[in-house]
Amino acid sequence: MYMKLYDYYRTALAGQTLPAAFIDLDNLALNLEQLRCRAAGLPIRLVTKSVRSLSIIRLALAAGSFMRGLLCYSPVEAAWLSSEGFDDIVVAYPSVEPADIRAVAVQLRSGRSITLMVDSADQVDLLDALAGKEKVVFPVAIDLDMSSNFPGLYFGVHRSPVREAATAVALAAEISRRSGVRLDGLMGYEGQIAGLMDAEPGRRLKNRIICHLKHRSIREVTQRRQRVVEALAEAGYRLRFVNGGGTGSFESTSGDTSVTELAAGSGLYAPTLFDHYATFKALPAAGFALPITRLPMPGIATCSGGGYIASGPAGKDRLPQPWLPSGCSLIEHEAAGEVQTPVRYPPDVGFRTGDLVLFRHAKSGELCERFNHLLLIKDGRVVDRVTTYRGDGKNFF
């Protein structure tokens, strides 16, 4: 079966210049459909950092009305996407760069909807000052911290200081006191649920601990988000949206009645860090092919390229993984190299110079920082070649 899959992609990619990154459009469509089903009727805001290609963003939004709006990672990216025709954009992280925020103001003046993220009065002040000069009112959303601070264990990410209803209402009051900003929404992203695998093979104990922690955390943070939304409503603040979750948390986030929309991006490409969740299984829809340029000894093939390490805590799980043909593995002391990546392969594979090895990246959008183009594969052949952000000359961090 895996040899068949390898042959499928090898045939599809025949004649292409390698290394090359590709998207399997058939699997991408199935992954989108799976997200739609898992969302239980809630709309999904597309997390662009996990996609990083204009064409794929367009394609995802065209999948149906369940895909609604974009969750961007920088104001300049949001302004660019807006100038490309996208609307209903939320920037998920605060920015303190006046030039970047001014780019958003230009788009707001042309009638687009871009919402900026805040979690403190300082950020609100900065936006308010710029709003006066730019003659706009910035729509803002409050970023609610969704981490669980268990005794002796901080389970979550370090982002927003807004943790409770009182702080959120106080920040909403700060926003309402300034004429250059207006409260538009709330975002509460539970990264420790959405982005942490809980069903890794051979890790029974770890999985059990993570499942237990997730279970406890879900109960706590769901109540927190609900309390905050209720308190804002009671204080008279109307929210256009309450955004929550990510690819790995649809089942629990959609059960929170205060949430009006989900966020997801990684569920489209399904990189290796999303392979083992108890609640869903997505299909690998993104990969890259490296050419074998040399055969240093029997059982080892050396490919050119490949050193595309994912961000986050440095560890083996951040390495790209040889995918097809199955049974290939990285070599411990070389791993994925800057210019070359040696791969150990099983005897039945019989590689020759000029063959290819298929890999998958650990994270979703970061693959696109390494390639100018994505080859789009459908029904066993390359049907198009589209640019990544990088291919468009865009780099936002």
Q: Which range in 97-105, 262-270, 284-292, 388-396 contacts ligand PLP by CB under 6 A?
A: 262-270
In whole angstroms, the minimum distance from the beta carbon of 169 to ligand PLP comes to 22
In whole angstroms, the minimum distance from the beta carbon of 58 to ligand PLP comes to 18
DSSP 117-181: EE-SHHHHHHHHHHHHHHT--EEEEEE----EEETTEEES----S--SHHHHHHHHHHHHT-TTE
Interface pick for ligand PLP out of 69, 94, 180, 246 (rule CB under 6 A): 246
Residue span 89-108 as binding mask against ligand PLP, x where in contact by CB under 6 A, dash where not = ---x----------------
Torsions phi, psi for 58 (to 5 deg): -60, -45
- The interface with ligand PLP within residues 30-89 (CB under 6 A) comprises 47, 50, 71
- The interface with ligand PLP within residues 270-289 (CB under 6 A) comprises none
State the amino acid at position 81 in one-letter form.
L
Strands 261-264 and 241-244: parallel
Nearer to ligand PLP, 273 or 336 (CB): 273
69 and 45 in contact (C-beta within 8 Å)? yes
- The interface with ligand PLP within residues 337-356 (CB under 6 A) comprises none
Residue span 173-192 as binding mask against ligand PLP, x where in contact by CB under 6 A, dash where not = ----------------x---
Helix, strand and coil content of the chain, in percent to the nearest 5, comes to 35, 25, 40
343 and 328 in contact (C-beta within 8 Å)? yes
In whole angstroms, the minimum distance from the beta carbon of 194 to ligand PLP comes to 5
In whole angstroms, the minimum distance from the beta carbon of 152 to ligand PLP comes to 25
Nearer to ligand PLP, 141 or 356 (CB): 141
Which residue, among 390, 353, 386, 360, has the nearest Cα to 288 in the 3D structure? Answer: 360
Nearer to ligand PLP, 70 or 263 (CB): 263
Nearer to ligand PLP, 76 or 194 (CB): 194
Torsions phi, psi for 33 (to 5 deg): -65, -40
Which residue, among 49, 45, 50, has the nearest Cα to 285 in the 3D structure? Answer: 50
Structure tokens at 35: 């997200």
CA torsion sign for 241, 54, 113, 94 is positive
Site for ligand PLP (CB under 6 A): how many residues? Answer: 15
Interface pick for ligand PLP out of 74, 95, 364, 388 (rule CB under 6 A): 364
Nearer to ligand PLP, 178 or 224 (CB): 224
336 and 330 in contact (C-beta within 8 Å)? yes
Nearer to ligand PLP, 20 or 141 (CB): 141
Query: Looking at beta carbons, which residue is closest to ligand PLP?
Result: 246
75 and 104 in contact (C-beta within 8 Å)? yes
Instruction: Please report where in the chains the tokens 């205060």 appear, as a residue.
Output: 258
- Residue 247 interacting with ligand PLP (CB under 6 A): yes
In whole angstroms, the minimum distance from the beta carbon of 356 to ligand PLP comes to 28
In whole angstroms, the minimum distance from the beta carbon of 188 to ligand PLP comes to 9
CA 153 remoteness from chain centre: 25
DSSP 319-371: S-EEEESTT-EE-TTT-S-SSEEEEE--TTT---TT-EEEEE-SSSGGGGGS-
Nearer to ligand PLP, 63 or 264 (CB): 264
Whether residue 296 is preceded by a cis peptide bond, meaning omega within 30 degrees of 0, is: no
Q: Which residues bind ligand PLP (CB under 6 A)?
A: 47, 50, 71, 92, 189, 194-195, 246-247, 263-267, 364
